[in-house]
Structure 1
Amino acid sequence: MYKSGPLIPVCLEFLRKNQPSALFAQNLPDREFLRLQRFISGLRITTKTSAQGGRASTPRVIKRLTRPSAKKEEFTLREGGKMTVAAYFQKALNKPLQFPDMGCAEVGSGAKIPLELCEVPPGQIMRKQIPPEKTKDVLDFATKKPRERLESIRTGLEVLAYGQSEYVRQFGMNVNTTNPLRVQARVLKPPTLRYGASSKQPTIVPNNGAWNMIDKKFYKPVQPIQRWALIIFESSSKFPLQTVEDLTKGLIDGCREVGISLATTKVLKYFNGQGRVRDLLRSAGAEWISKAQKPPELFVVVLPEGGNEIYTEVKHFGDIEMGIPTQCLKSIKCSKAKPQYWANISLKINVKLGGINTIPDPSSVSVLTDPHMPTVVMGADVIHPAPGSEGRPSFTSLVGNVDSDTAKYVADSRVQTSRQEMIADLDEMAKQILSLYMRYRQAVEKKPVDWSNNLDGVSEGQFKQVLEQELPLLRKACIELQIDAKITVIVVGKRHHVRFFPQSERDADKSGNCPAGTVVDREIGHPLEFDFYLQSHGGLLGTSRPAHYSVLHDDNNFTADSLQSLSFALCHVYARSTRSVSIPAPVYYADIVCSRAKNHFDPNEQWDLTGSEEASVAGSNVVVTGATESLDRFQRGFKPLHNSQRILMYFS
């Protein structure tokens, strides 16, 4: 919830500042101004003035912040003429404002109120994304070990008292609130993972969803990286040269351990994060061009605390504008980092530049690696705007493998009508993925493509609509590419309330959860449809949530065992980690690609729609118009990936 009380301390705490002067218009950089505006837009405030006898006004909703200060922001008087906001409130309050250099809060009616007069009423839920620095606090508060979670569920059932409900008794129903349902479960055998042939240990079998990179080289390390730039958005006092040298050594050593050769020479630049980030990156790239007549192959960027806006600009520059892979590091984490940290960073760098970290051994996923049956696994996702975000569109993504080992993926992302669940451009997106697959298979793997057999698609959405709307689009894409495909469609869901608890400690992993690979497909499954629950990841914090797999369509006649093993294997090829993840990697990637859609818009333009739609005011209600025009604007502004990034895992 938003903290109640005066608005100024709430703003200062969000920006991590102590002095009110930090909110003065001349001291607030554009990037910080936009962050603050996004944070408090939609917040209800009251005001207290002497004209109201000290009583709080009716709550009003902040629409936006004014960039000019109260002493510069003017409005037109009813009787004619103009007056500044500061002068108006000095007259109304019979005393000058304490902070006339601060901006004002513009509320829904169009009135502009100095920040120092705004009060935040208690009990307001923050209905938008939690600031990243608060996420850990929420997780610490919300996580409960499995046994604690089970007890809280039992307590909750006692409070709900289903057995005392008149309606339940009238229908002759009985709710057992004493014991959880006991079900039969199996633990699947994990796939064997294959690393580079030069590794001391080229294959490994994960233990409870985890393994390590000791004595292992990547399956396909990227070519030697000769030209790279280290960009630091911190002052040299906060990030001194000795820390830079430690970072460089740690990164080079970490890459060498896994088979990547990273040159010791680099371009080093310190920049102020308040400048135009892309111009700064471009100047660093120009230095390599003047040295080697070629652009850098990699930007390594050190971000300050709260550097999310810089991150967005860096990614837009790398993925959209220049097509140069970027790897961002948080300053607080990379200074004095241990080898494990650099090993994790190397996982990302390798796939961003075209390498492959690990593959499931072909014997573990024979259905995917049969050379006579080329197979593409696709993951699809749709992300909708937050409640109340009128005019903002939905974003869609489709991710699919291009290699024969289902480890290297490409992605496509689009903009569509707000809150539309089905993917409108699925046929065009699928055609692009399939075309890239054929090109990679022929040009890189030197394998023929005979599409007479098999295509496996993994999609997500509403069951009936998937079959009626999305499946025909997939078929259309295949027909246009002359592919005779057998399609399997699976919905992978995690938004449910099913939890599994091991019956005894010897059945549990170290976290008290069921072990990775636990599958349940009987007592709690659908009585008629093909579905199952798979808990594919080892527990870390709290109570693990299994994924629910619903098979909507299956031309391939998979058995339950083969489909469960296939799904479990795909949870082990997520390139960012050496752990199995909770959903198959292509579905996970699709979710990431959707959430990164904001990087496709020019960060120097105002794309946050809070308060930017055309609105007509009727009393205290704001009616938003122009939703179609807003969608058109978003679609026009959505920049495609740079050509060089289309075939790389830029989203890792």
Structure 2
Amino acid sequence: MEEGRVAPRGRGAAALAALLKQKKEQQVGIQSQVPPQTSSISTEEHGVPEPVAPAPRGRGASLLASYQKKKEEMQQHVGVQPVTSQGEAPKPKGRAAMLEKYYQTKLVGSAPESTSSPKSKIEEITKKIGEITTEDEALETMYYRGTTGKELQLSVNYIQLNIQKGGGVFQYEVVFSPELDAKSQRYELVNKIMGDLKTVKVFDGGSCLYLPQKFIDTQKSYDMNLTNGDQAVTVTIIFKKQKRLGDKDCLHLYNVLFKRIMFVLLYTRIGTNYYNTEHKHIIPQHKLEVYPGFVVTVVDRESDLLLCLDTQHKIIHNQTAYQLLAELKCSSDARNFKENAYKSFLGMCVITRYNHKTYIIHDILWDVTPKSTFPTHDGRAISYVEYYKNQYKLDILDHHQPLLLHRKSVTVAGSLEKEDRMICLVPELCYLTNLTDAMRNDFKLMKDVAFFTRITPQQRRLALRTYIDNVRNSERAQELLSQWGLSLAAENLGLTGRQLETETIIYGNQITKSAGPSADWNRDLGNNPVLMPVDIRNWVVFYTHQDTQCAREYANHMQRLSRSMGCHIAEPRLEKLPNDQTQTYITFVKDRLDKDVQVAVFICPSMRTDRYSVIKKLCCAQFPVASQVINARTLSKPDKVRSIILKIALQINCKLGGSLWTLRFPFKGWMICGIDVYHGAQNKSVCGFVSNLNENFTKWFSAALFQSKELGDFYQMAFTKALEEYKAHSGSYPGKVIIIRDGVGDGQLDHCKEHELKQFQNVLKAFQFETNICFVIVQKRISTRIFHSVRNGQVENPPPGTVVDHTITSKYLYDFFLISQNVRQATVNPTHYIVLHDSCNIKPDHIQRLCYKLCHLYYNWPGTIKVPAPCQYAHKLAAMVGQFVKCQPSPELATKLWYL
């Protein structure tokens, strides 16, 4: 992306001398109005003859003609009579044309009335790039757009939200004294107060009240009584401010309004989304129910306000938490029952069908039962049995069952801090949600669930149109929208995107193959040698007696595959274990592994988390060696055994420091850092940091550290070590640093920029480097969906390399959407990239192409992945350390991909 410059020689030097002379004459001509006594003294007055450059020819003549053409354009801007040029320059296109119009508005300040005014030119630009208020913002928005690639006709799951001109919004704050916990009670009192006011209102159930007209000037208090009870409540309504429809501050109003519309359309709120509980899909063989629904969000984008609408599904079990507790009690002894219950319930999400609310289980209260009492607002004590009988007409059968605890942080009125509140739940009334790990490993179950949850692009767009039709056909929904001056477009939003060029994969012996239209090179990888093979001369295979045949066949296959991979694989040392106990693995690893062993392979009869964790901890921390754990069932498929063992062999090659393939990168001296965080139990997190060590991105440095609170200064330590390792492998420090941070939400962007970015800048200052930084945020869990429009009005998934950097991007951020992976089933999920900071001044085309290239370099998959490879490596590293190793890995493995 950056090209070096070479000093001109021969005719080029002569042309350069002529250009410099003409530039000097031009400067003297511009200063012709300066009095003669202050003008520059020529060299001839001092007796020094001025050198005369020979007339340029060939390339020098071309350079001179190009310079004259640029000089004529400059003279036109400053009012000098232009010199007649030979030929006309090509007209600018795309962003260059917009830039030219912008600069014309800046330079032509006193244009005659017959020409367009600067204001009208800015308006012409803003029609193309969205509503922008200032010239600088127009230029900045144009700069954030790329131009390369093939144009695609796309559509998205956004619906234009039309706003009536001249409308307004008045915001009020509602304060209840004493504080009311139940939203229904707050709604009741606000409805009583606003009953006499013949106007529409939007109340969020908390403290925000919106009206289309002014109600009071300052504040007003009302003394009210609840219908069910004698409790007196003082409600104070305070005027906050007036807003204009379309302002960014009105997003909360619009989201509350569309939540009400979902209620009008008979959708039930479960968690944060809305589902159709009347049209649920029942899977009786697995005791599951699937609720279809929508994620509805109003967002402020480059093309003004849009309604983002995405289909969602909620999986509800027919089994209650009480039934799961009974199964655990029957399947385990008394000593392990509580331990197994904790493992099963902590972090689980349950739903209470009497109010359709979801809760995360944080603890099990073994000493609290439904017979226990709790205080009410009026100071009385009531048992859980009585409470559910009076409030929901529900009878609790087992009065001795333990209760489940959910902690909820709530904002207290008059305080900026939040306080924790405990909610006790009865297992009998709690139904399990989502899928457990055991269910996810059940192929038949996942196939049956996917029949209802995997939605194709065509089905997803049909759901969008159905929602639009339901809103337009509902009189109540139309009334709610029109009262606030809003209306929905008849179709989802269409736009144009770009498809980046197909990349070329480089294998061993400089063999190059195209990644293909689907960005998949699985077949080519098996038919070509790897880029950097590693000979395996000393390795060990551990196995039990029942897997003796699998171990021998595996060793033979590995040796036969060595020729196709381009390396030598010796015969392994086979170590038979007497049994499958965890302590046996520990003993054999300590006794049979020495410093000369390159890799240890474990063939296990079944997959157990505790055994896997012990093996990884031994091989990654105590005895640093590359390790591979294989399930014996995986090797028992004759028709697939070769491809399976090939993938295992490729993984081992990477764990030993080798590499499989690479791409062409048109730059040198860049360091790419990937960051991701694994969040474990009890607020313990593991941060993974990965950075490249060479210029073709085939070797990586990895670091992981446990954190209980903030990340602190970990980035500084990891980045310092990464710079030292980069210099050791490449011979010099990097010229540019690109940091790609995964797992940051919109609400954390400011914290990330103020806290995390400064750590990298402080390290560079300490090294006294002038290296520039580009900080990029990657977001995977988004609701945006992009469809590729094909003939006959059908839509499908866009091809890999699709980029969208306008219309649905933010007005206030440098961002774009990229689809890098190929998806054959369901709907592809794009990745959102936000360039949070860029002192490298990388062009949008280059940063988009760089991110797409990096999606080709994940060695665990012969194809493109969803995020850049450094982020995926950091994710695998953090998850491996946080879930299984649970201690600091050995520094000897820091320059190898041991966690694949």
Fold shared by both chains (TM-score > 0.5) = yes
Which residue of 687, 708, 716 maps to 1:417?
708
Q: Is the 8 A contact 1:313 1:599 kept in 2?
A: no
Q: Equivalences for 1:87-166 in 2 at 5 Å?
A: 121=429, 123-125=431-433, 132-134=440-442, 137=446, 141-158=452-469, 164-166=477-479
**What is aligned with 2:519?**
209
Q: TM-score, normalised by structure 1?
A: 0.70
Deviation (angstroms), 1:37: 4.2
**What is aligned with 1:463?**
749
Distance, in Å, in 2 between the alignment partners of 1:484 and 1:429 is 19
**What is aligned with 2:582?**
275
Which residue of 344, 352, 356 maps to 1:39?
344
Q: Is the 8 A contact 1:62 1:106 kept in 2?
A: no
**What is aligned with 1:523?**
807
5+ long unaligned stretches in structure 2: 1-315, 351-360, 368-399, 406-425
Which residue of 292, 296, 305 maps to 2:597?
296
Counterpart check, 1:651 vs 2:879: no
Cα deviation, 1:440-484, whole Å, max 9, x if unaligned, reads 22xxxxxx3155x32222224332222211111001122233432
Q: Equivalences for 1:155-234 in 2 at 5 Å?
A: 155-158=466-469, 164-176=477-489, 178-197=490-509, 201-212=511-522, 213-222=525-534, 224-232=535-543
**What is aligned with 1:436?**
725
Q: Name the aligned partner's letter for residue 491 of structure 2.
A: N
Q: Equivalences for 1:290-329 in 2 at 5 Å?
A: 294-329=595-630
- 3-state DSSP of counterpart to 1:186: strand
Q: Is the 8 A contact 2:599 2:627 kept in 1?
A: yes
Q: Is the 8 A contact 2:779 2:831 kept in 1?
A: yes
Compared with structure 1, are the counterparts of its residues 274 and 508 closer, same or farther at alpha carbon in structure 2 (3 Å cutoff)? farther
Q: Is the 8 A contact 1:380 1:396 kept in 2?
A: yes
Distance, in Å, in 1 between the alignment partners of 2:478 and 2:434 is 34
Which residue of 659, 662, 666 maps to 1:366?
666
Compared with structure 1, are the counterparts of its residues 552 and 282 closer, same or farther at alpha carbon in structure 2 (3 Å cutoff)? same
Q: Is the 8 A contact 1:382 1:423 kept in 2?
A: no
Distance, in Å, in 1 between the alignment partners of 2:792 and 2:694 is 40
Distance, in Å, in 2 between the alignment partners of 1:250 and 1:560 is 47
Q: Name the aligned partner's letter for residue 463 of structure 2.
A: S
Cα deviation, 1:178-226, whole Å, max 9, x if unaligned, reads 42211101111122121111x7x4444333211131431111011x212
Cα deviation, 1:496-551, whole Å, max 9, x if unaligned, reads 11111111169999xx4111101111221223432111100111331111111111
Counterpart check, 1:262 vs 2:569: yes
% identical equivalent positions: 20
Deviation (angstroms), 1:649: 0.9
Deviation (angstroms), 1:407: 2.6
Compared with structure 1, are the counterparts of its residues 538 and 25 closer, same or farther at alpha carbon in structure 2 (3 Å cutoff)? same
Counterpart check, 1:11 vs 2:328: yes
Q: Name the aligned partner's letter for residue 149 of structure 1.
A: R
Which residue of 335, 347, 361 maps to 2:650?
347
**What is aligned with 1:481?**
767
468-477 or 252-261, which moves further after superposition?
252-261
Q: Name the aligned partner's letter for residue 456 of structure 1.
A: I
Distance, in Å, in 2 between the alignment partners of 1:179 and 1:406 is 44
**What is aligned with 2:332?**
23
Q: Is the 8 A contact 2:404 2:427 kept in 1?
A: no
Distance, in Å, in 1 between the alignment partners of 2:767 and 2:603 is 44
- 3-state DSSP of counterpart to 1:144: coil
- 3-state DSSP of counterpart to 1:366: coil
Cα deviation, 1:284-313, whole Å, max 9, x if unaligned, reads xx3364xxxx44211112234442222222
Counterpart check, 1:334 vs 2:627: no
Q: Is the 8 A contact 1:231 1:271 kept in 2?
A: no
Deviation (angstroms), 1:564: 1.0
Q: Is the 8 A contact 1:44 1:61 kept in 2?
A: no
**What is aligned with 2:690?**
399
Which residue of 221, 242, 253 maps to 2:549?
242
492-501 or 473-482, which moves further after superposition?
473-482
Compared with structure 1, are the counterparts of its residues 36 and 168 closer, same or farther at alpha carbon in structure 2 (3 Å cutoff)? same
Paired residues in the alignment total: 508
Compared with structure 1, are the counterparts of its residues 228 and 191 closer, same or farther at alpha carbon in structure 2 (3 Å cutoff)? same
Distance, in Å, in 2 between the alignment partners of 1:472 and 1:272 is 53
Q: Is the 8 A contact 1:210 1:580 kept in 2?
A: yes
Q: TM-score, normalised by structure 2?
A: 0.52
Cα deviation, 1:583-633, whole Å, max 9, x if unaligned, reads 10011112222222325756xxxxxxxxxxxxxxxxxxxxxxxxxxxxxxx
Compared with structure 1, are the counterparts of its residues 493 and 244 closer, same or farther at alpha carbon in structure 2 (3 Å cutoff)? same
530-539 or 642-651, which moves further after superposition?
642-651
Instruction: Give the alignment's Cα RMSD to 1 decimal.
Output: 3.5
Q: Is the 8 A contact 2:582 2:614 kept in 1?
A: no
**What is aligned with 1:449?**
732
Distance, in Å, in 2 between the alignment partners of 1:243 and 1:548 is 44
Q: Is the 8 A contact 1:190 1:569 kept in 2?
A: no
- 3-state DSSP of counterpart to 2:741: coil
Cα deviation, 1:100-134, whole Å, max 9, x if unaligned, reads xxxx998679xxxxxxxx97555233698676515
**What is aligned with 1:500?**
786
Q: Is the 8 A contact 2:881 2:888 kept in 1?
A: no
Distance, in Å, in 2 between the alignment partners of 1:123 and 1:42 is 14
Q: Is the 8 A contact 2:740 2:775 kept in 1?
A: yes
Distance, in Å, in 1 between the alignment partners of 2:327 and 2:671 is 50
5+ long unaligned stretches in structure 1: 13-19, 46-59, 67-103, 110-117, 442-447, 603-638
Q: Is the 8 A contact 1:381 1:587 kept in 2?
A: yes
- 3-state DSSP of counterpart to 1:543: coil
Distance, in Å, in 2 between the alignment partners of 1:503 and 1:165 is 29
- 3-state DSSP of counterpart to 1:455: strand
Deviation (angstroms), 1:326: 0.8
Q: Is the 8 A contact 1:37 1:64 kept in 2?
A: no
Q: Is the 8 A contact 2:530 2:659 kept in 1?
A: yes
Cα deviation, 1:124-147, whole Å, max 9, x if unaligned, reads 336986765158715565322222
Distance, in Å, in 1 between the alignment partners of 2:488 and 2:696 is 48
Distance, in Å, in 1 between the alignment partners of 2:791 and 2:584 is 53
Distance, in Å, in 2 between the alignment partners of 1:499 and 1:544 is 7
Q: Is the 8 A contact 1:320 1:600 kept in 2?
A: no
146-155 or 576-585, which moves further after superposition?
146-155
Rg larger for: 2
Compared with structure 1, are the counterparts of its residues 480 and 349 closer, same or farther at alpha carbon in structure 2 (3 Å cutoff)? same
Q: Is the 8 A contact 1:227 1:288 kept in 2?
A: no
Distance, in Å, in 2 between the alignment partners of 1:250 and 1:508 is 46
- 3-state DSSP of counterpart to 1:184: strand
Distance, in Å, in 2 between the alignment partners of 1:327 and 1:226 is 16
Q: Name the aligned partner's letter for residue 249 of structure 1.
A: N
